[in-house]
Structures are given as C-alpha cells and as structure tokens.
C-alpha cells in the first residue's frame, strides 16, 4: 500500500505565529507509510476539495504525524477551528518525498510556510545541516527552536530585518556559500525564491531539489489538476503532476 | 438481495455505478483504497489520438459546492492507453469504457478504428469537453455535427457499443440526444461540465490559467437531474446520468429521473470511497424498497 484514507485524531494543537497552526495527529496507518517531503490531503466540512498540507513531522513509534498550515482561505480557516480530540479525515501519505541523498554539507532553505516540510529533513541530516529560514518579519518566524533541536545550524532571515539576517534566504545562502562548503540544497517556498535558488545552485554546481506547490484536486494522480512543466534529460518539456511525479523535483528539471 | 446488475446497451455491468472520465485516472490510482473490480465500470481518462500536454496551471479552482477544472485533456494518447494502461485494467475484472476526444472528425474515426478490436467493453465519445478550443464541445452543440460524427464513428466501431457524452452547454439537450440516437448511438451519457469562470478580484485575472473551466460537483446536480429526465423522455436508447452525484441518494434520484446507470465524478476527490459507498447505499435502498432488481428504478419518476 502506498497511501490510505484514515480517520485520525487531533492530539495536540498550537498556534506557532498569527494564523499559523501546528497539528499533531494520531495516524497509525499514515505515520507507518510516511517519509520526509510527503503530504496529506485534509478533509474540511463544507468544502468540496481536500487541502494538501505537507508533513512537518513523522513519529513512527508514537504513530503520529505533524502538519503545519497557514490560514489562507475558507478551508484552512475551518481547519484552524479543529479542537483537540476531533477526528480529522486524511488521505495520505501522498507524493514521493525528498530522495535524501548522502550529503556532508546540506543546506535546507524554507520560505514562510515552506519551512515545515524541511523539519523531517533536518532531523535526517542532523548537525551536518544548515537550515536557512526566511519570513516576512520576526513575528511570522516559526520553528527556529525545532530546527536547532535537530542539531542543524539554524539561520533566521527576515525580509524587514526585525530578526536575524536582514534580507532574503537567497542572499543568506550566497553569504553562506562564500565561506562554507555545500553539496546539497533542498528548498520549499515561493516560486521566485526557488527560482533564484535554482540559479545559485546551478552556478555553483550544487545538487538542488525543490518541493513544488500547485492547486490540487485528488492528490494521487487521478485528476491531473496539478500540472507543472518538467524538462527531461534530453531537454524535452513534459507536463508532470506535482502530486504523484513530485512534489520534489531536481531544480534543473523545473521549467521556470 | 436485489440484483444490482444492469444491462447497458448489451454490456452487463455488475452494478450501475461507473466512475466518470477524468476523475478516476485509469483505475490504478484508486487501487490502494479498494479493488476497482467492485465497480460497475470505469470510464477512462479522456484519450486523444496523440499525446496532449493539456493546459497550463492553475487548472483547478474550488467553487461553492463544486469546482472548476481546465485540465484540457492531458493524456498520453490512444496508443499508450492501449499498450501501457489497459493491460492492468484488464486484470481487474472491471468493465472498461474508453473515453475518446478529438479535435477533428478524423481523430475520432481513427480512434474508433484503433479501439474496435481491443479488450474494452464500450466507447464513450466525448463531444463535450469545454477546455479544449477545438476539443469536442463544438461537435456537441449542433445536431448536424452530432449526427455526422456519430454516424462516421459508428461505421468504424463495429464491435463495441458507442455512448455519446453530451454537453449541458446547449439550449436543448434533448435535441442533441435525439441526433445521437438517430445517427446510431447505442447510449448517451450526460452531463459533462458546465462552462464557468472565477476571477481573482485583487489581480482581476481569471483564477484558471485557461480563463474558463468546466464546473462540476454537487452544485450542478439539479441541472443534471433535469437534463437526464428531458433526455430520457426524448430517446429510447439508455441514458447514463452524471453530474454532481456524491451520495447513494443522488444516484437513486438520477435513476428515477431516467438513468440506466450513473457515473461518479468529482465526489471521488473528496472521498475516494464515494463510488463504493454509493453502491452499498443503493443495495440497502433496493432491499428496503423490496426491489428484485435495481433496474426497476429507472425512469419511474411520477411527475406532477
């Protein structure tokens, strides 16, 4: 079995920053199958389509998963109203996750709500990893303690300079590369950020994976709603599905 | 227990529940949830003569009680369907309905020839895709064109029944169904999606990259029921009802309106088990009503 539908239980909920929530869900079946970089589809009463949310934590022993989401519209607003003890209908785990290649000096880069899926990656690479997280402002920053707890070096960036490095993650990466080795970049965030990262990775000859986002219908390949243009080894552009072909792609494959 | 089998123009379905084209892939996507052999049938993702990349993203937008899509018939083409996707389906003991779409009469005729001797049970001809400029819908909005394309495809598709899938984006769908019947269609299915649009008020851009898309989901169900009833009154060939069915009650309602079988589409996204729940609910209802066969529901509407 690759994925399943499961009635999970919300066991813990907290608000990490204004409008950003973390759910810990008891999900025996999904947690058993899940790997870093995958996502789940969350059913919301009154909405036709499920909401795709990436996994921010997988605890196979405790049989729990963690998801972190931002209120973006009606669906996520309703999700934010779930309370501990509620049953949450999930389909997952979906997508292929990060390939987790061997790396001595991986750099993980997240923009805003693109940060949560990097947490399981940081746990995988531990103190070898550097995590560069970017947020609009200090009050929107999340997960800095969690990243540090994995042993990774956490670098906080804010667009407005209210905390950490003043500027974008891409600038922080360039500063990092000037004095540090790097043999892998994994990123999740807004497309302009990832596009710039892909350029930097290419210029420096660094293997780079990007986790993409697109509006989804089903999440498991049936509706073909989440198309993205991907370039194959021969330079031919094919339209692939973010859900079943991704969401993680090599940066050089992504047509920008 | 009531007999759930239905005969759809010579093809015996285990039950009246077919999964709708474009919402169920080629079946294997749902195999992790349940054995797809439990279904009455699978109408495959719309297939064109050659591979099509479809439209750029975003292709999906949620709407009140429904959704818009503008996938634009992304598919690997009929050859890949037959050689790469059909073999797995054949192992599942499920009725396979090949859904075909094209941009010219010649495309449809060529696909009919290609599929005529393959191990599929039926062809559903999509002349109603709203997301492709030349994509079929133009064939489905004129009775003369429906007659022409249906009769030409029938001439080549000698070994399989032909079901014509109709668009609701017409003034009188009964006329369209009658045209298909007159030209030799063995069944009609309806409705395809209603053409719709949403606009982002900040950017003043359409939400979909294709500007417009096809609307589906529970919001269109009453339109579909009315149209199935109109068509059932108009033609003698079987009618397959679809459009916003998400519960077994909806499916029963659609059969009472005149459907011989029904299709589940958008509901598959919200609940991957939707089709199975519909089958089970219909079984319970049939028993509760003391029916010996589920076919006893079809066209039993008692109008005021």
Put simply, whether A240 touches B (Cβ < 8 Å) is: no
pLDDT band at B38 (very low <50, low <70, confident <90, very high): very high
Mean per-residue pLDDT of chain B? 95
Q: Residue A215 and residue B66: Cβ atoms within 8 Å?
A: no
- Which residues of B are designated catalytic? 129
Nearest to B78 by CA among B108, B58, B103: B108
Tell whether the model's pLDDT for residue A233 goes beyond 90. no
High-pLDDT (> 90) share of chain A, %: 97
Q: Which helix (H) or strand (E) element contains residue B155? A: helix B143-156
The pLDDT of residue A1 is 82
Residues of B in contact with A225 (CB under 8 A): 57, 59-60, 69, 71
- Tell me which chain B residue has its CA closest to the CA of residue A219: B269
Q: Residue B54 and residue A224: Cβ atoms within 8 Å?
A: yes
Domain boundaries, chain B: 6-297
Put simply, whether A227 touches B (Cβ < 8 Å) is: yes
Average pLDDT over residues A170-188: 96
Side-chain half-sphere exposure of A71, counting CA atoms within 13 A? 14
Tell whether the model's pLDDT for residue B134 goes beyond 70. no
Average pLDDT over residues A24-40: 97
- Tell me which chain B residue has its CA closest to the CA of residue A214: B58
Q: Is residue A132 domain-shared with residue A63, that is, in the same domain?
A: no
Q: Residue A75 and residue B62: Cβ atoms within 8 Å?
A: yes
Looking at the 3D structure of chain A, how many domains does it have? Answer: 2
pLDDT, tens digit, 9 for 90 and up, residues B215-226: 999 999 999 999
pLDDT, tens digit, 9 for 90 and up, residues B53-86: 999 999 999 999 999 999 999 999 999 999 999 9
Residues of B in contact with A223 (CB under 8 A): 22-23, 25, 60, 69, 71, 269
**Of the residues A94, A117, A148, the one at which a domain ends:** A94
Q: Is residue A120 domain-shared with residue A203, that is, in the same domain?
A: yes
Q: Residue A227 and residue B59: Cβ atoms within 8 Å?
A: yes
Distance, in Å, from the CA atom of A132 to the CA atom of A141, rounded to the nearest integer, reads: 12
Q: Residue B22 and residue A43: Cβ atoms within 8 Å?
A: no
A residues 101-120 closer than 8 Å to B (CB): none
Nearest chain B CA: its distance from A44 CA (Å): 9
Q: Which CATH number belongs to the domain containing residue A22 in this structure?
A: 2.40.30.10
Average pLDDT over residues B18-31: 97
pLDDT, tens digit, 9 for 90 and up, residues A42-94: 999 999 999 999 999 999 999 999 999 999 999 999 999 999 999 999 999 99
pLDDT, tens digit, 9 for 90 and up, residues A234-243: 889 999 999 9
Residue count (chain A): 256
Q: Residue A48 and residue B273: Cβ atoms within 8 Å?
A: no
Q: Which CATH number belongs to the domain containing residue A124 in this structure?
A: 3.40.50.80
Q: What is the ipTM of this complex?
A: 0.92
CB atoms within 10 A of CB A231: 16
In-domain check, residue A99: no
Mean per-residue pLDDT of chain A? 96
**Of the residues A94, A117, A145, the one at which a domain ends:** A94
Q: Residue A222 and residue B62: Cβ atoms within 8 Å?
A: no
Distance, in Å, from the CA atom of B134 to the CA atom of B138, rounded to the nearest integer, reads: 7
The pLDDT of residue B139 is 82
Strand ranges (E), A142-196? 153-158, 165-166, 184-188
- Tell me which chain A residue has its CA closest to the CA of residue B32: A1
- Tell me which chain B residue has its CA closest to the CA of residue A223: B23
pLDDT band at A256 (very low <50, low <70, confident <90, very high): confident
pTM: 0.95
In-domain check, residue A191: yes
The pLDDT of residue B76 is 95
Nearest chain A CA: its distance from B17 CA (Å): 18
In-domain check, residue A252: no
pLDDT band at B136 (very low <50, low <70, confident <90, very high): low
In-domain check, residue A245: no
Q: What is the largest CA-CA distance in chain A?
A: 52
Tell whether the model's pLDDT for residue B91 goes beyond 70. yes
Average pLDDT over residues A146-173: 96
**Of the residues A211, A232, A248, the one at which a domain ends:** A211
CB B240 within 8 A of CB B261: yes
In-domain check, residue A117: yes
Average pLDDT over residues B121-142: 77
Residue A79: which domain range? Answer: 4-94
Task: Pick the residue of A6, A218, A237 with the most B CBs within 10 A to test the interface with B by mutation.
Answer: A218
In-domain check, residue A229: no
Average pLDDT over residues A186-214: 95
CB B274 within 8 A of CB B268: yes
Average pLDDT over residues A183-212: 96
Question: Domain B6-297 is of which CATH architecture?
Answer: Alpha-Beta Barrel (3.20)
Q: Residue B57 and residue A227: Cβ atoms within 8 Å?
A: yes
Q: Is residue A159 domain-shared with residue A83, that is, in the same domain?
A: no
In-domain check, residue A136: yes
Tell whether the model's pLDDT for residue B135 goes beyond 80. no
Residues of A in contact with B58 (CB under 8 A): 214-215
The pLDDT of residue B119 is 96
The pLDDT of residue B15 is 98
The distance in angstroms from the start CA to the end CA of chain A is 34
Average pLDDT over residues A105-118: 97
- Tell me which chain B residue has its CA closest to the CA of residue A239: B53
In-domain check, residue A232: no
Tell whether the model's pLDDT for residue B161 goes beyond 90. yes
């Amino acid at each position: 079995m690759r994925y399943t539908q499961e009635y999970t239980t919300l066991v813990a909920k907290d608000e990490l920053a204004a409008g950003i929530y973390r759910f810990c869900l008891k999900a025996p079946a999904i947690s058993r199958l899940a790997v870093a970089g995958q996502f789940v589809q969350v059913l919301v009463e009154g909405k036709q389509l499920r909401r795709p949310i990436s996994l921010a934590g997988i605890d196979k022993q405790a049989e729990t998963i963690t998801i972190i989401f931002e209120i973006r519209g009606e669906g996520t607003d309703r999700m934010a109203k779930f309370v501990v003890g509620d049953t949450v209908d999930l389909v997952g785990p979906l997508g292929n996750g990060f390939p987790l290649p061997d790396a001595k000096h991986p750099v993980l880069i997240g923009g805003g709500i693109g940060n949560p899926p990097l947490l399981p990656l940081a746990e995988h690479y531990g103190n070898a990893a550097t995590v560069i997280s970017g947020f609009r402002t200090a009050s929107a920053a999340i997960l800095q303690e969690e990243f540090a707890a994995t042993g990774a070096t956490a670098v906080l960036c804010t667009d407005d300079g209210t905390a950490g490095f003043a500027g974008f993650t891409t600038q922080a990466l360039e500063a990092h590369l000037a004095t540090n080795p790097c043999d892998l970049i994994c990123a999740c965030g807004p497309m302009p950020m990832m596009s710039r990262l892909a350029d930097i990775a290419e210029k420096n000859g660094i293997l780079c994976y990007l986790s993409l986002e697109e509006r989804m219908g089903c999440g498991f390949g049936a509706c073909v709603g989440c198309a993205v243009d991907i370039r194959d080894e021969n330079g031919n552009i094919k339209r692939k599905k973010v859900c079943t072909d991704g969401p993680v792609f090599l940066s050089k494959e992504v047509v920008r | 227990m009531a007999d759930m089998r239905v005969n759809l123009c010579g093809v015996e379905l285990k039950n009246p529940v077919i999964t709708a084209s474009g919402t169920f892939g080629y079946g294997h996507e749902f195999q992790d949830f349940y054995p797809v052999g439990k279904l009455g049938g699978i109408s495959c993702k719309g297939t064109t003569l050659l591979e099509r990349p479809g439209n750029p993203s975003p292709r999906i937008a949620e709407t009140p009680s429904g959704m818009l899509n503008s996938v634009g018939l992304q598919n690997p083409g009929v050859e890949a369907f037959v050689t790469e996707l059909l073999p797995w389906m054949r192992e599942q003991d499920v009725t396979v309905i090949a859904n075909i779409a094209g941009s010219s009469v010649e495309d449809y005729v060529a696909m009919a020839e290609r599929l005529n001797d393959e191990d599929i049970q039926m062809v559903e001809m999509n002349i109603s895709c709203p997301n492709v400029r030349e994509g079929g819908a133009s064939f489905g909005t004129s009775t003369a064109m429906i007659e022409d394309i249906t009769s030409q495809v029938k001439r080549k598709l000698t070994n399989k029944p032909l079901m014509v899938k109709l668009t609701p984006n017409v003034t009188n769908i009964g006329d369209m169904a009658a045209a298909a019947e007159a030209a030799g269609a063995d069944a009609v299915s309806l409705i395809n999606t209603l053409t719709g649009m949403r606009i982002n008020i900040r950017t003043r851009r359409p939400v979909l990259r294709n500007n417009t898309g096809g609307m589906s989901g529970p919001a269109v169900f009453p339109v579909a029921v009315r149209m199935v009833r109109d068509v059932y009154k108009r033609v003698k060939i079987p009618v397959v009802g679809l459009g916003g069915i998400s519960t077994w009650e909806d499916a029963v309602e659609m059969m009472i309106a005149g459907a011989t079988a029904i299709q589940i589409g958008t509901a598959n996204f919200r609940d991957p088990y939707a089709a199975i729940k519909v089958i089970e609910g219909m079984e319970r209802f049939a028993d509760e009503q003391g029916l010996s066969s589920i076919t006893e529901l079809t066209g039993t509407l008692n109008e005021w």
